[in-house]
Amino acid sequence: MTRGTLVVVWLLAGYAGGGRLASSQSPRGGVTRLGAADAYGPGITTVSAGQVQFTLARPAHVIVLRVAQDGGIEPILPRAGEPTQYEAGLHGVEGPPLDATGGSPVHEPVLRSAEALARAGRRAPPPGADLGDSVSTPPAFWLVIVSDVATNASEVRTRLQAMKLEFPSVKAELEALPKALVAKRAGSWAAYYAPAGR
């Protein structure tokens, strides 16, 4: 099945599943948006430790990273030899499981249907929600970068290796990565990040 076919299947599964996925068209609290986010749509709609689901309002070249609390960066998309551009619509990607330290072994990510993502994912809390004492530090964050310029898997790795990866916080790192990977080359870009959960 091609990626385009999977997108259509995911969209149909969202509508067939009572609209659960199709109705999740706006970013929830807990998702930070950078750059020209409105130009590319809602971005991240559902997250879990091993999966991220995002919606694009228009075609875009996509980079997906998982960034650990210790600053480790795990490139998930693009994969070597695969196109970097995704059509408008709902997309989902699964990364390898996180280990106890918040990192993950290197494995190829596995694409899942929207229905499977909905069953496993969780919604981010609404803005201003009182999270109380139950809040714990997430083991990692999902970072979805979209732009009008292609960046293949090899180029992502090369640009990451060339970066000075010393940041005062994970937030500073999450905000610096899109700028280093695409901002200087793209006419238009956006980035979305959210805690990956446990």
| Surface-to-core class of residue 57, CB atoms within 10 Å of its CB (0-12 exposed, 13-18 middle, 19+ buried) | middle
Asked if the structure places residue 169 within a domain, the reply is: yes
What is the domain range of residue 66? 3-125+135-195
pLDDT surpassing 50 at residue 35: yes
Over residues 96-133, the pLDDT tens digits come to 887 644 444 443 344 334 444 444 444 444 444 444 44
pLDDT surpassing 70 at residue 5: no
Residue among 19, 95, 17 nearest 53 (CA): 95
What is the number of domains present in the chain? 1
Over residues 150-197, the pLDDT tens digits come to 999 999 999 998 888 788 899 999 999 999 999 889 999 999 999 987
CA–CA separation, 147 vs 141, rounded Å?
A: 20
The rounded mean pLDDT for the chain is: 75
Asked if the structure places residue 44 within a domain, the reply is: yes
Asked if the structure places residue 171 within a domain, the reply is: yes
Asked if the structure places residue 121 within a domain, the reply is: yes
Asked if the structure places residue 190 within a domain, the reply is: yes
Asked if the structure places residue 78 within a domain, the reply is: yes
Asked if the structure places residue 130 within a domain, the reply is: no
User: What are the C-alpha distances in Å from 17 to residues 56, 70, 88?
Assistant: 20, 38, 20
Asked if the structure places residue 112 within a domain, the reply is: yes
